[in-house]
Amino acid sequence: MTEKILISTERMQWLLERLCLLFLERHDKPAEVAVLALQPRGVAFGQAWLNTLSHLTSGPLPDFGKLDITFHRDDYRKRDELSVPSETHIPFPIEGRPLLLMDDVLYTGRSVRAGLDALLSYGRPTRVELMVLVERRFSRELPIEANYVGERVDTLSNQKVRVLWEPSPKVVLYSVPTSPHTTL
């Protein structure tokens, strides 16, 4: 499996700062916004973004929580392996306040749809915005669009985009072998 680096460590830091500045342009009181990162991969992105935001503003930061979407996915019963949920941790109210939903990669839109479904179990925010580090263009299956996008990339259906945080942050693209019986 060959990898191609789509976003280098240096570019990743630049994108995080850019996303923070775009957020601050729209929200002059960031602490009024609740932030929920989708488990599992959106959490690392959310924490890196929040850390970057803390260096760019001297005021209070948004509340940060983690939202598991396992049982809200429309495909969880169709998987061969047993679905193991991650932790949901929301130690603050989301009712009646703006909310920022975060995930690392926006692909078909199904994870975001599951996140919207799951968050309504905890309250009704006044509005929901979506922030993603990478948007895979031309692959949406649902009418979902991010308010904040770090980088837009074009990919083929047999390619995967993976955000890696260790040992240093980067985004890679790799091809998944297709079955010889698969028709494209």
3-class secondary-structure state, position 127: coil
33-92 pLDDT tens trace: 999 999 999 999 999 999 999 999 999 999 999 999 988 866 655 556 766 778 999 999
Phi, then psi, of 124 in degrees rounded to 5: -115, 105
- CA–CA distance, 29 with 160 (Å, rounded to integer): 36
Confidence of residue 169 (pLDDT cuts 50, 70, 90): very high
CB–CB of 172/155 below 8 Å?
A: no
- Return the pLDDT at 71: 80
For the entire predicted model, the pTM comes to 0.91
Domain ranges of the chain: 3-74+89-175
Q: Which amino acid is at 69?
A: I
What would the two tokens of residue 151 be?
Answer: 């980088």
From the list 2, 6, 47, the residue with the least C-alpha distance to 135 is 6
Arithmetic mean of pLDDT over the chain = 91
Please enumerate in sequence order all residues whose Cβ is within 8 A of that of 86, keeping only pairs 6 or more positions apart, or say none.
39, 40, 66, 68, 70
Please enumerate in sequence order all residues whose Cβ is within 8 A of that of 123, keeping only pairs 6 or more positions apart, or say none.
93, 94, 95, 96
**pLDDT above 90 for 121:** yes
Q: Which CATH class is domain 3-74+89-175?
A: alpha beta
Query: Which of 95-99, 109-113, 163-167, 176-180 bottoms out in mean pLDDT, i.e. has the lowest?
Result: 176-180
Residue, of 21 and 73, whose pLDDT is higher: 21
**pLDDT above 60 for 183:** no
- Return the pLDDT at 116: 96
The number of CA neighbours under 13 Å toward the Cβ of 16 is: 25
Q: State percent of the chain over pLDDT 90.
A: 79
- CA–CA distance, 147 with 125 (Å, rounded to integer): 16
The whole-number average pLDDT for the span 11-35 is 97
